[in-house]
Amino acid sequence: MRKNTTKEQIPFISWGSRGTAPVSDPKKTKYSGNTMCSSLNISQKERIVIDAGTGIIEMGRQLENEEKGKPHDIHLLLTHFHLDHIMGLPFSPLLYSSDTTLTFYSPLPLKETKKYLRGLMAEKYFPIDFQDTPSQKIIHEVPPETFSIGSVEIDSFPLHHPQGCLAYRFKFEGKTLVFSTDTEHPDKGVDKELAAFCRNADILVYDATFTPEDYLDKKGWGHSTWLAGTELAVEAGVKSLFLSHFNPDYDDQKIDGIIISAREKFTQTFAAGKKD
């Protein structure tokens, strides 16, 4: 379990903070070897999960172990359908539990969402059809306006990423968390519209796939840097910045250095997925 460690005490857990592909090298697991998956646990009826990378496997196992036989009401918000954000779903215990209701919130129309979810477990790729798994499934398209899950108010924002991606802003109990990964910063300055969306958040989770140096020949890939993250955090007036979507080529020592450099620009910088 990788809980946030800031004074804001938001019940935010990062189960996977790698982009592109999971890693198992012992030198690369301090900040999680799983791909993107986070949870926001307000209550049993307001259990929100963001993305279904391989981190959702670990999350599902823990939930099954701790609450075996109890009903699980999971609200799964997908930022987009690139593989590193959905590849854990076919292997998550949640999908195979008849006690689980999975409510999907998709950035795509319902017909497309059903097509891609079933395609992930299509014949020749997987022995079980998505629809045949025991969990109950409900699918919604993310609305353009504010929507709610229990007491949590949620807004979305379109990010700069190939084929599109959504950022989410969660507001509850006087706290705000913004989840903004898989986005590319402008050539100059800060994205003013994104800064407005992140304004005064208690926690901002941001795409730090590349160092500024590595980014130079990766322009157009739809990803950002730790430096752009700190600049956005300053412009938006957030309280804490959690860098995420780490490059699978970066080992623990490299990410240690990224966090040290980022803190020189924005003191309250942390790494999502760091082991307790």
222-268 pLDDT, tens digit each:
999 999 999 999 999 999 999 999 999 999 999 999 999 999 999 99
| Beta pairing, strands 100-106 & 136-141 | parallel
- Write the pLDDT tens digit of every residue in 105-131: 999 999 999 999 999 999 999 999 999
What CA–CA distance (Å, rounded) separates 107 from 91?
A: 22
| pLDDT for residue 8 is more than 70 | no
List the beta bridge partners of residue 175.
Answer: 172
Would residue 1 count as lying in a domain?
no
Q: CA-to-CA distance for 85 and 62, rounded, in angstroms?
A: 19
User: What is the pLDDT, as a whole number, of residue 276?
Assistant: 58
Q: What is the mean pLDDT of the chain?
A: 94
What pTM does this model have? 0.95
Is residue 76 situated within a structural domain? yes
From CA 28, how far away is CA 15, in angstroms rounded?
Answer: 15
CATH of the domain at 217: 3.60.15.10
Q: How confident is the model at residue 34 (pLDDT cuts 50, 70, 90)?
A: very high
Q: How many domains does the chain have?
A: 1
Of 2 and 155, the structure prediction assigns the larger pLDDT to 155
Whether 3 is in a domain gets the answer: no
Within a domain: 7? no
- As to burial, measured by CB atoms within 10 angstroms (0-12 exposed, 13-18 middle, 19+ buried), residue 61 is middle
Sheet with 47-50, side-by-side order of all strands: 12-16, 37-41, 47-50, 72-77, 100-106, 136-141
pLDDT interval class at 1 (50, 70, 90): very low
Residue 205, in any domain of the structure = yes
Q: pLDDT by residue (tens digit) across 179-229?
A: 999 999 999 999 999 999 999 999 999 999 999 999 999 999 999 999 999
List CB contacts of 127: < 8 A, sequence separation 6 or more.
none
What per-residue confidence (pLDDT) applies to 23?
97
**Parent domain of 246:** 12-271
Q: How sure is the predictor about 69, in pLDDT bands with cuts at 50, 70 and 90?
A: confident
Q: Examine residue 191 and state whether it is found in any structural domain, yes or no.
A: yes
Does the residue 143 lie in any domain? yes
**5 within a domain of the structure (yes/no):** no
